[in-house]
Chains A and B, each alone.
Chain A
Amino acid sequence: MTAETLARWQFGITTVYHFFFVPITIALSLLVAVLQTLWVRTGNERYLRLTKLFGKLFLINFAMGVVTGIVQEFQFGMNWSEYSRFVGDIFGAPLALEALISFFLESVFLGMWIFGWDKLPKKVHLATIWLGSIGTLISSIFILIANSWMQNPVGAVYNPTTGRAEMSDFGAVLTNPVALVTWPHVIFGAFMTAGGILLGVAGWSLAKANKQLNGAEPDGQIAKDIDAHRFALKLGAWTLIVATCGSFFTGDIQGKIMVELQPIKMAATEAVSTTVQNAPFAVLAWPDGSGGVSTAIEVPGVLGLLAGTENGEVKGFNELMAAYQNGELVDPNNQLAQGAKDAGLLQQYSSQLAAAGYVPDILTTFYSFRIMIGLGFLALIVAIIALVKTGKGKLPKGGKGWTLAMVIAPLFPLFAGSFGWLVTEIGRQPWIVNGVLPTASAVSPGVTALEVGLSLVLYTVIYGVGAVVEVGLFLKTIKSGLPVVEEPQVSTDEDAPLSFAY
């Protein structure tokens, strides 16, 4: 395999893996902040116990999120040096600002939150989790601005003297329409996952408590546990339901923007080979044996409706490919692409683009998109069932089906996010910067396949071991249940044991 192919795999594997931790970090930190706020305001112990339990899960996840995130920052330079050189004037800014504004905020304040229970007054301590959580939200804004620029490179011009893209309008980069709709979509997805975690943990624990009771009336500690878990389940389920609606809504807008800016991504994702009016939405697609695709189970007009175009027209990839081969720009209004074309750069890339075929992998994007929607929808159904089964003071009976549902609640939204990113990133191919720089031209020329291959294997091994450890600790923490808590006090005794210590 070439260094380029290996570098693509490395980016795919490390990014998908990193993004298992990102949504949990963003949304679970905020839900924990909400739980702790409820405790500070009401003094009700159940909120403190929930804060501690889900705080612990959040931190196990956060540790892995931080270290896999560092790989991401270094990887651009290591594997994609021409990309980094070419776009750094624009792309570097959100990355550096992310570190400066959000990484410091989340790292310093989460450190204070973890160790500060007996050092800080209650309300100040509460502020630290909020600041840490806000840090993760700001981080997501910057990184999605950066990624959205790769999908829609606005606010930049090509400088033939320096041979790179240069910033012409930072405001346009910040208000990129792709970023404005992608950010809420990703955040809703994150809350689906975190809501699913609350729901899954609480639902499983309630079934366990029900089994322990064995028909008896709950009292004492077990009654307290049930009361707390019941609240967590409701909070989690409603978070999941609202966030799912939000992601469907924002995803719909994303599609309408995609038709305009990345029409071939839409054509591939929907397996539309020839331009159609009132485009139908296909459920199945398969290779037709002659290089194209066939589709089946078509719902008339639905894709056209989703695309929101005149007469529901969706362009087919055959027409688009022919146009691109003739030198037409992917987005005729893009200043940077126009500049690159005028300077003869796109002509220079034409052989690579022809080899890559101009169109992203159709079946991968097609099914990733449908799996994403399917997973999200199933999680939504689980949330509704869980609310019904625990309503009016009922306790879930448990059993294999229930346990499975409680596993689905967090994992399906999480995996939906992975598939969503596959559509976004694979759908952008063969471009690394849509319509401007092909991925094949962006790779580091000085890096050998041996180096990328070696690091790829070792990352995979380390990440694999990390996943086993992480999941093991997650399950152990869930099984040990809600901790017994004492009211935290600011300690003045020099020799007193720390209320939290590693």
Chain B
Amino acid sequence: MNFSFNLPTEIPSVLAVVWFLLVAVLWIGYLVLEGFDYGVAMLIPFLGKNEKEKRVLINSIGPVWDGNEVWLLTAGGAMFLAFPAWYATLFSGLYLPLFLVLVGLIIRGVSFEYRSKRPDTKWRAVFDWCAAIGSFLVPLVFGVGFANFIIGLPVVTDPNNASLYVIASDAANVGVTPYFWELFSPFGLLGGIVVVVLCLYHGLLYLTLKTRGEIQERAKGLAKILGAVAIVGGAAFLVWQNLAYSPLFLSGLSWILLVLAAVALIVSWLTIGRGLAFIMTSLTWLLVALGIFLKMLPGLGFRDVGGADVPGINVFTAASTDGTLTIALVAALIMVPIVLAYTIWAYWVFRRPISVKNIPDDALAAA
């Protein structure tokens, strides 16, 4: 192991590491919360056997999905704020994948509201599929993306601007060929599939808690199958990750996180239908994400094309100034607990599971 970081001449700020952790926390919040509403929305055309059942699925996430999505927006905003160079290089470098994410978020985001506004079956089917496809596309791309952060996205400096890093396999490719097809390596694809399956499983466990009646039973049955797939696929991915792409330091911790994630997933499978199962899949997201973010230290998921251990763009060089990081940290320390408090309250208000009996006969929304 080589610990010779290419650090700037100044002593690196501990604030940068704190903010890196905070970005990780926001991503974990996003995966745990929106993970299940992606899962539920993907299942609308498949698990809902009739109109009322479909509406049970939609209404089970209806009051909360939009708040869940804000975790992603805040994670993106926090990357921009705390690591402008990371945000700049990553978002421009993964242009087409992020475009797919945006398309997914757009078509799913409007579908719940618009679906309810007309009674005809065709209209509603269109938005069921918009919700399902959008909710599939987003975790798929993020899964492929995170797998590639583990592999390391190759970076070079822009030939015209030494301060700006660009994702490219070669400086001659900058602005010529996008780094796109390279993302779909076997490991990258496995990452995409695992994240989608984990969302489905997480969503099914949510449904076992938030619905009643036949649909709840069906969710339990399907969770058994998808849970098994998630365990096998997840374990394969994590073992592969640790064998092939060991983190620069604390590789022992990375193995521990893997084992804990596997245990959490197995416990969830053994307790399907109980609250514990959902807590365990939430814990799985947390452990897997921690492992990935550990691997992204200090290179932020980038890889120096020249072969250096630490790329020139890293958690220290990409960070904002201490002044900005301090101000924002104070704001975050005040706001995050407040946000968590009212989010928990919102979940408590809508704690009651719903069944087809709760769905009004009127096909149009009651309000």
Residues of A within 8 A of B (CB): 3, 52, 55-56, 59-60, 62-64, 66-68, 70-71, 73-74, 76-79, 81-93, 95-101, 103-105, 107-112, 114-117, 119-120, 162-164, 166-168, 170, 444-448, 450-452, 454-455, 458, 462, 466, 469, 473, 476-477, 483, 494-502
Contacts and interface: CB of A to CB of B under 8 A. Distances in A.
B73 A103 contact: yes
B77 A96 contact: yes
A473 B163 contact: no
B12 interface: no
A93 B342 contact: no
A105 B339 CA distance: 8
Contacts of A77: 80, 87-88, 90-92
B186 interface: no
Contact of A117 (B103, B117, B367): B367
B105 interface: yes
Contact of B117 (A100, A452, A473, A498): A473
A436 to B, nearest CB: 15
Contact of A90 (B164, B324, B355): B324
10 contacts: A3-B175, A60-B113, A76-B87, A81-B166, A88-B320, A116-B349, A162-B163, A451-B178, A455-B95, A501-B116
Contacts of A81: 88-89, 91-92, 164, 166
Interface string B87-104: 111111101101101110
Contact of A107 (B67, B106, B166): B67
A441 to B, nearest CB: 8
Contacts of B342: 104-105, 108-109
B80 A473 contact: no
Interface in B61-79: 62-67, 69-70, 73-74, 76-78
B88 A119 contact: no
Interface stretch (B143-151, B192-200, B238-246, B329-337): B329-337
Contacts of A501: 55, 59, 62, 116, 358-360, 365-366
Contacts of A3: 175
A494 B327 contact: no
Contacts of A495: 355, 357-358
A70 B76 CA distance: 10
A146 to B, nearest CB: 11
Contacts of A92: 77, 80-82, 84, 87, 320, 324
B121 interface: no
Contacts of B158: 82, 445-446
B167 interface: yes
B185 interface: no
A445 B113 contact: no
- Nearest first, the 5 A-B pairs at minimum CB distance are A88-B84, A77-B91, A92-B81, A96-B77, A446-B166
A100 B321 contact: no
A71 B84 CA distance: 18
Nearest to A164: B163
Nearest to B335: A100
A418 B189 CA distance: 43
Given A85-B163, A502-B62, A444 B77 contact: no
B233 interface: no
Given A116-B349, A445-B164, 7 more contacts: A73-B77, A85-B85, A100-B74, A100-B339, A163-B162, A445-B175, A497-B366
B225 interface: no
Interface of B: 55, 58-59, 62-67, 69-70, 73-74, 76-78, 80-85, 87-93, 95-96, 98-99, 101-103, 105-107, 109-110, 112-118, 158-164, 166-168, 174-179, 320-321, 323-324, 327-328, 331-332, 335-336, 339, 342-343, 346, 349-350, 352, 354-355, 357-361, 365-367
A38 to B, nearest CB: 18
B332 A100 contact: yes
Contacts of A78: 91-92, 95, 98-99
B106 A93 contact: no
Contacts of B113: 59-60, 62-63, 502
B77 A98 contact: yes
A interface majority secondary structure? helix
B178 A447 contact: yes
Contacts of A71: 102, 106
B286 to A, nearest CB: 20
Contacts of A476: 117-118
Given A71-B106, A77-B92, A496-B358, A89 B69 contact: no
Given A55-B367, A92-B80, A67 B70 contact: no
A103 B163 contact: no
A92 B175 CA distance: 25
Given A71-B102, A92-B82, A448 B335 contact: no
Nearest to A68: B106
B85 A56 contact: no
A95 B166 CA distance: 23
B6 to A, nearest CB: 15
A96 B328 contact: yes
Contacts of B76: 73-74, 99
B84 A85 contact: yes
A63 B110 contact: yes
Contacts of B115: 502
A115 B110 contact: no
A440 to B, nearest CB: 12
A100 B159 CA distance: 36
Nearest to A452: B95
Contacts of B367: 52, 55-56, 114, 117, 483, 499-500
A135 to B, nearest CB: 10
Contacts of A498: 59, 354, 358-360, 366
B324 A107 contact: no
Contacts of A116: 63, 349
Contacts of B357: 495, 497
A191 to B, nearest CB: 24
Given A90-B324, A119-B350, A164-B163, A70 B88 contact: no
Given A96-B81, A497-B359, A107 B70 contact: yes
